[in-house]
Amino acid sequence: MLGYTYLLAACLLGATLIGVRALDNGVARLPVMGYTSYEYRCNVTQDLVRMNAEQVVSLGLKDLGYNYINLDACYAESNRSATGQIVADPSRFAFGMPVLTAEIHGLGLKAGMYGSSGWFSCGGDEPGSFQNEVNDVRHWQLDWGFDFVKIVDCGVPFDDIIREGILGKYQRMADAIAQVAQESGRDPLVLSVSSGGDQFPYLWASRLGHSWRIGKNVDPSWSSIADAINTNSFISWASDYYGHNDMDYLQIGQGGLTFEEEKTHFTAWAFLKSPLIINTDLSKISKQDLSILMNDEIIAVNQDPVVGKAVTPFRWGSDPNYWTSDPARPAQYWSGETQNGTVFMLINTFDAPATMFFNLTESPYIRAGRQYSVRDLWAHADVGVAVHNWTVPAVPSHGVVALLLQDAGDEPNGEGPPCARQANQCVSESGTPAA
């Protein structure tokens, strides 16, 4: 089972807070998995959150590592209390947040909160945490019992008020989390950064939090999924222990995507080491959609405890030989390391079935002159032994192939040319080039 806890610890130098980093005991290393209330928007209630938490357990999702139950926006009243605290909406959270988090914890799960680094939430109707960071962290964690917080970039103060850039604004929250952890002796909140329109959050957010949003909000359409994959094809290298490119919520079970597109969506998010946060009403999810979310062989790549790096492309879509950005035709051929071997992700970005072919050594993780056993991670079956190359016929439109290759020894003598690639520079000991 892959149920991990993700926590961040303060990095202290004397009494000076200099940031937030992962604990040394192995937690906070891997992408968060869980459920979000975003599906309900401002119709969210305490009962709906509890119901979905119970579904995470009863459906078996918890056993696979989905262990966070996260609130999104629309949980708070528009004004703070007389003592300056954020107040939960009493009509929709009548029993209070401490009761809700106790129920979640009682199921063996963890609870996630939502906040804003500015004056207001993105809807403008809930308080943000600017100049209230320490107070809000204490309230969320110590009074209400939350374990995780997603901080968005909305209600941004005017420059002559804030007098700091986006890093400084989020640093305030990271420092508050570290301060409260030091004061209370509690493990710090996990911090997830949602950085609005910033195109390069990985350049600064890795020093602050567990994950950072990349690209636009994703909706349940192929164009949106393809656009997100394209964006991340250029920055997948930025995900590693202890920070992850967050590609937004999983849209599986929302409608708008075919079964094959949903498989591609889930595989790409998992292999790119994005948090896997389910955005749907779990009481209504189909068995087919649930089978995607519960593919333990795909999840194992996302949650690999030995290799933290995401897969990277080795051949692009519109122009296979160059790094060409195309929101409609993202990179098609990807590979990466895992504790069990080399994984390959092939995405058919065309609107019709297509045969997909690659030479093994196009991946930098494959050794020349070796053969490899091939496992199909969606068929859950061993499908043969690859020598030099591999072909997958009739990959469905917008479909995916997920393969695990494991070294099976030296390739047989006399099978294929002496060099799989770069034949013009591949020579015998005497200098004779490959035919």
- What CA–CA distances, in Å, run from 337 to 81, 213, 267, 334? 51, 24, 15, 11
Q: Work out the angle at residue 218's Cα, subtended by the Cα atoms of residues 123 and 155, and round it to the nearest 5 degrees.
A: 25
Q: Work out the angle at residue 321's Cα, subtended by the Cα atoms of residues 318 and 324, and round it to the nearest 5 degrees.
A: 45
Provide φ and ψ at 289, rounded to 5°. -65, -40
User: Could you read off the pLDDT tens digit of each residue along the chain, which spans 435 residues?
Assistant: 333 333 333 332 233 333 444 444 444 689 999 999 999 999 999 999 999 999 999 999 999 999 999 999 999 999 999 999 999 999 999 999 999 999 999 999 999 999 999 999 998 889 999 999 999 999 999 999 999 999 999 998 999 998 988 888 899 999 999 999 999 999 999 999 997 667 788 888 888 888 999 988 999 999 999 999 999 999 999 999 879 999 999 999 999 999 999 999 999 999 999 999 999 999 999 999 999 999 999 999 999 999 999 999 999 877 777 788 999 999 999 999 999 999 999 999 999 999 999 999 999 999 999 999 999 999 999 999 999 999 999 999 999 999 999 999 999 987 777 887 766 778 888 888 876
The confidence score (pLDDT) of residue 206 equals 84
Give me 310's structure tokens. Answer: 């995401």
The confidence score (pLDDT) of residue 6 equals 32
Domains in the chain (CATH in brackets) are 8-302 (3.20.20.70), 312-410 (2.60.40.1180)
**Across-strand partners of 407?**
372
Sign of the dihedral defined by the CA atoms of residues 298, 299, 305, 310, in that order = positive
Give me 278's structure tokens. Answer: 């389910």
Read off the pTM.
Answer: 0.93
The confidence score (pLDDT) of residue 423 equals 63
Structural Rg of the chain based on CA atoms: 23
Give me 105's structure tokens. Answer: 């914890």
The confidence score (pLDDT) of residue 120 equals 93
The confidence score (pLDDT) of residue 339 equals 97
Query: Residues near 166 by Cβ (< 8 Å), separated by ≥ 6?
Result: 153, 195, 198, 204
The confidence score (pLDDT) of residue 269 equals 98
The confidence score (pLDDT) of residue 197 equals 63
CA distance 56 to 170: 31
- DSSP codes of every residue in 59-115: TTTGGGT--EEE--SS-B-SS--TTS---B-TTTSTT-HHHHHHHHHHTT-EEEEEE
